[in-house]
């Protein structure tokens, strides 16, 4: 049943350019998928390792800036993408070594500081990043000689990468390492006593999370063909964290739902509602009040409750008539 659901979702997503009509909405779905990849990456840390990062936009931005700057200096797309992944991985490792000296509020503050450091570099290292003006791209890559310039083609490339990330996440979370990771989130002391190397497990989680952020950052740059320090700002880190929390951390679909909510509010509803930020805030408050575990787990709970209520109602009715 679950597999059928996934297959239907994939077919619906694959048919998006056919049924949404117009490149504007296809681009919106592309944005959702990019944000979802970013949120899924952060969810490895927040949902599965229990480590809240407020510096992930920095990692996302490092990847985007690396591609942008290398392309600007005449390098090819392959070199730029590989270098961006490498650069982000190296930065993630450095960040992880520094931030994993602590957990809880300490981890949040260190990641916040490191993220702000990268934002500062993007903003102030003008010779390299052009400061607030940002770096523009001139072309998108052409994998297998297929141009990604059209909205549809870019969407399919993004969808392919999104599905790969989602499958990767599903394998990871169901794996022995995934169990180890969740164990370090729930009882690090016990895990150490059981022989697990808690620090290294968390370090690997940071690296995996950074890799997803890099992939999202590269896609983000190619989607906009532009990157500026705004993408690295604290608000961007907070936004992706909200996607994870609102959708449901520690779940596969939660970050995707959270990403969809935020992107739709930002890109679609903002055209109709002037104070869309206020509306988004109100939605988050409602989620926290009525579905504190997030939209996806909360909806599952609601469905279970309604099904149980319906079952009870059906069971009770004959009893009443019989009496």
Interface ranges with another protein (CB under 8 A): 171-172, 174-180, 183, 186-187, 189-198
Q: Output the smallest distance, CB 213 to another protein, in A.
A: 18
| Torsion sign (Cα): 284, 290, 293, 295 | negative
Contact predicate 64/231, CB 8 Å: yes
Of residues 15 and 194, the one with the C-beta less far from another protein = 194
Of residues 62 and 208, the one with the C-beta less far from another protein = 208
Q: Are strands 135-136 and 226-227 parallel, antiparallel or unpaired?
A: antiparallel
Of residues 275 and 301, the one with the C-beta less far from another protein = 301
Q: Output the smallest distance, CB 187 to another protein, in A.
A: 6
Packing angle of the helix pair 198-224, 151-174 (nearest 10 deg): 170
CA angle 46, 60, 139 (to 5 degrees): 150
Q: Output the smallest distance, CB 201 to another protein, in A.
A: 8
Q: Output the smallest distance, CB 264 to another protein, in A.
A: 32
Of residues 186 and 274, the one with the C-beta less far from another protein = 186
Contact predicate 40/163, CB 8 Å: no
Of residues 18 and 193, the one with the C-beta less far from another protein = 193
**What does the alpha-carbon distance between residue 319 and residue 190 come to, in Å, rounded to a whole number?**
50
Contact predicate 146/154, CB 8 Å: no
**What does the alpha-carbon distance between residue 136 and residue 3 come to, in Å, rounded to a whole number?**
41
Q: Output the smallest distance, CB 249 to another protein, in A.
A: 14
């Amino acid at each position: 049943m679950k597999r059928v659901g996934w297959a239907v979702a994939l077919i619906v997503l694959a048919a998006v350019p056919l049924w949404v009509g117009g490149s504007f909405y296809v681009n919106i779905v592309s944005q959702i998928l990019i944000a979802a990849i970013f949120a899924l990456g952060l969810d490895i840390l927040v949902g599965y390792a229990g480590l809240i990062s407020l510096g992930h936009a920095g990692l996302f931005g490092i990847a985007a800036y690396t591609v942008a700057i290398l392309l600007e200096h005449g390098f090819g797309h392959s070199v730029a993408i590989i270098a961006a992944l490498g650069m982000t991985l190296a930065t993630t490792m450095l960040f992880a070594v520094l931030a994993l000296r602590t957990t809880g509020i300490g981890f949040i503050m260190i990641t916040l500081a490191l993220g702000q450091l990268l934002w500062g570099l993007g903003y102030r290292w003008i010779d390299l990043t052009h400061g607030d003006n940002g770096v523009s791209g001139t072309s998108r890559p052409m994998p297998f000689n297929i141009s990604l310039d059209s909205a549809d083609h870019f969407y399919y490339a993004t969808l392919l990468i999104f599905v790969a990330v989602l499958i990767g996440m599903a394998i990871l979370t169901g794996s022995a390492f995934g169990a180890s990771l969740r164990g370090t989130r729930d009882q690090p002391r016990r895990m150490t006593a059981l022989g697990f190397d808690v620090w290294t497990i968390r370090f690997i989680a940071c690296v995996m999370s950074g890799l997803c952020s890099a992939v999202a950052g590269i896609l983000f740059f190619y989607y906009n063909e532009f990157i500026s320090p705004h993408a690295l700002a604290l608000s961007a880190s907070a936004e992706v964290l909200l996607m994870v929390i609102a959708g449901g951390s520690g779940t596969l679909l939660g970050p995707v739902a959270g990403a969809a909510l935020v992107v739709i509010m930002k890109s679609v509803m903002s055209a109709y509602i002037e104070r869309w930020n206020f509306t988004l805030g109100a939605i988050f408050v409602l989620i926290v009040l009525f579905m504190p575990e997030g939209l996806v787990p909360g909806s599952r709970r609601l469905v279970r409750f309604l099904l149980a209520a319906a079952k009870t109602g059906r069971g009770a009715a004959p009893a009443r008539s019989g009496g």
